[in-house]
Amino acid sequence: MDLSECLNLADFEERAVERMSKMAYEYVASGAADELTIRWNRQAFDAIKLNPTVLNGIGQPDTRLSLFGQELSHPILIAPTAYHKLMHPEGELATARGAGAAAAVYVVSSFTTTPLAEITREATQPLWFQLYVRDDRELTKSLIQEAEDRGFRALCITVDTAVPGVRNRQEKGGFRLPDDVITHHMPGPLDEKKPLTWKDIEWINSFARTPVLLKGILNASDAEKAIQSGASGIIVSNHGGRNLDTVPATIDALPRVADQVNQRVPVLMDGGIRRGTDVLKAIALGASAVLVGKPVCFGLACAGAEGVTKVVEILRTELEIAMILTGRATISGIDHSVIWK
């Protein structure tokens, strides 16, 4: 399709609806239960106003940052999302190519429909791995080791999905994986009998060779436990509003977590990032970097690798414009004072 029609992230979703099966679209777009949290993720960003600075002499802002010793060109990461072959026939290979062209870290889901070995061959930018801990802890351990051996540079353990949420809309959409869409590294859907606990996090930390981030923390007390259990980083996330409905927007939860963490480890966030100004707001409120989920899925559905690249590039360009207009030459210069109080 003609990508010049897509000027912002909403344009991708509008076009993706027409190109995806109803089942796949509903899977990606839907949230849990009454979808209040998914709505709040957006409304909370919209309610935050920015404080501009004029005549600040900033021409080209510098979006680079260093995270876990990795040098990144910008703070926009691709969130882990499952089943990319539902969205595009080239699946995760297209995502990896698209991420490479946009200089973005791609966090590959445990529910990838392409084997890790093939994704690493395609990638030109750092890959991180998202982990679902399964009842079979030995399988979990060997999956972590495989990802590390293949050069994945960080491990994001998803901790907010002890059970998947009440996904009425996904179910009504008739969600079902086609027979030729295979999750090579996951033995069937999540249906765990042996719940993940803080002890498991300590266990994983005892042998992990890459930084371990916990994805899905929303409050200060869990953030503190994450640090005490040895986590190298925290991702403030409500799973894009897909798990527990009526938990707060992530941009509302972020400042509390950031306060508690007090710079001991990097805090990242996801949920509702649709504009460069959202990236700026998240950084101002304590995030080192952000992840983007649904818009990347829609970019992939619209135009494979090129769609993924363009989604990230639009956000990056919008972030640069927001940095110029708020007078921030660097990412570390984005602080609370960009928010209108």
Ligand X SMILES: Cc1cc2nc3c(=O)[nH]c(=O)nc-3n(C[C@H](O)[C@H](O)[C@H](O)COP(=O)(O)O)c2cc1C
Tell me the residue type at 270.
Answer: D
| 66-74, 133-141, 236-244, 280-288 -> range binding ligand X (CB under 6 A) | 236-244
Query: Is 239 labeled as catalytic in the residue annotation?
Result: yes
The site partner of 294 among ligand COI, ligand X, none (C-beta below 5 to 8 Å per kind) is: ligand X
CB-wise, 294 or 328, nearer to ligand COI? 294
CB-wise, 74 or 185, nearer to ligand COI? 185
Asked if residues 107 and 137 have their Cβ atoms less than 8 Å apart, the reply is: no
The site partner of 164 among ligand X, ligand COI, none (C-beta below 5 to 8 Å per kind) is: ligand COI
Residue 297 touching ligand X (CB under 6 A) = yes
Q: What are 105's strand-pairing partners?
A: none
State how far the Cα of 23 lies from the Cα of 21, in Å rounded to an integer. 5
Residue 272 touching ligand X (CB under 6 A) = yes
Q: Is 215 annotated as a binding residue?
A: yes
Residue with tokens 């190298």: 232
Distances in Å between the Cα of 301 and the Cα atoms of 61, 77, 153, 272 are 31, 18, 27, 19
- Encoded one letter per residue, x for contact with ligand X by CB under 6 A and - for no contact, window 201-230 reads --------------x---------------
User: Rounded to 5 degrees, what are φ and ψ at 215?
Assistant: -105, 120
Residue 82 touching ligand X (CB under 6 A) = yes
State how far the Cα of 95 lies from the Cα of 99, in Å rounded to an integer. 6
Supply the DSSP string of 38-55, one letter for each residue: HHHHHHHHHTPPB----S
Q: Is 130 annotated as a binding residue?
A: yes
Residues in contact with ligand X by CB under 6 A are: 27-28, 41, 79-82, 109, 111, 130, 158, 215, 237, 239-240, 242, 270-273, 292-294, 297
Catalytic residue list? 239
